[in-house]
Amino acid sequence: MNKPDTHAEKHNEHQLTTIRIKGHLADRWADWFAELTITRTANGDTLLTGPVPDQAALYGLLRKVRDLGLPLLTVHWVDPSQT
């Protein structure tokens, strides 16, 4: 018997998230965002990409961005089935 997918099961998957901030993040902050890949773009932005297990973890990351004083540009959740 096949078990139907439920919203709760899908919600609990670690979703790939990309956070774009204005400005280049200095190397000294790499340990602070150790769970994420840091990519500096040619246009001067920084992308923080990696798995974020839930809303609480996302909130923690956004607090770190706020504490750096760098403007938050976008937060993008990537559907795991599209990767």
pTM of the predicted model as reported, rounded to 2 decimal places: 0.77
Question: What contacts 66, CB < 8 A, 6 or more positions away?
Answer: 72
Alpha helices in the chain (DSSP H): 7-11, 55-68
Question: By the 8 A CB rule, do 68 and 29 touch?
Answer: yes
pLDDT at residue 2, rounded to an integer = 54
- Is residue 19 pLDDT above 60, yes or no? yes
pLDDT at residue 80, rounded to an integer = 66
* Interval 34-51 mean pLDDT: 95
36: CATH: 3.30.70.980
Instruction: Note whether residue 40 is domain-resident.
Output: yes
Q: Is 75 exposed, middle or buried (0-12, 13-18, 19+ CB in 10 A)?
A: middle
Give the number of domains in the chain: 1
Instruction: Note whether residue 2 is domain-resident.
Output: no
How does DSSP classify residue 14? P
Instruction: Note whether residue 25 is domain-resident.
Output: yes
- Is residue 36 pLDDT above 60, yes or no? yes
Instruction: Note whether residue 76 is domain-resident.
Output: yes
Q: Could you list the residue range(s) of the whole structural domain that residue 72 is in?
A: 14-82
Instruction: Note whether residue 1 is domain-resident.
Output: no
Instruction: Note whether residue 46 is domain-resident.
Output: yes
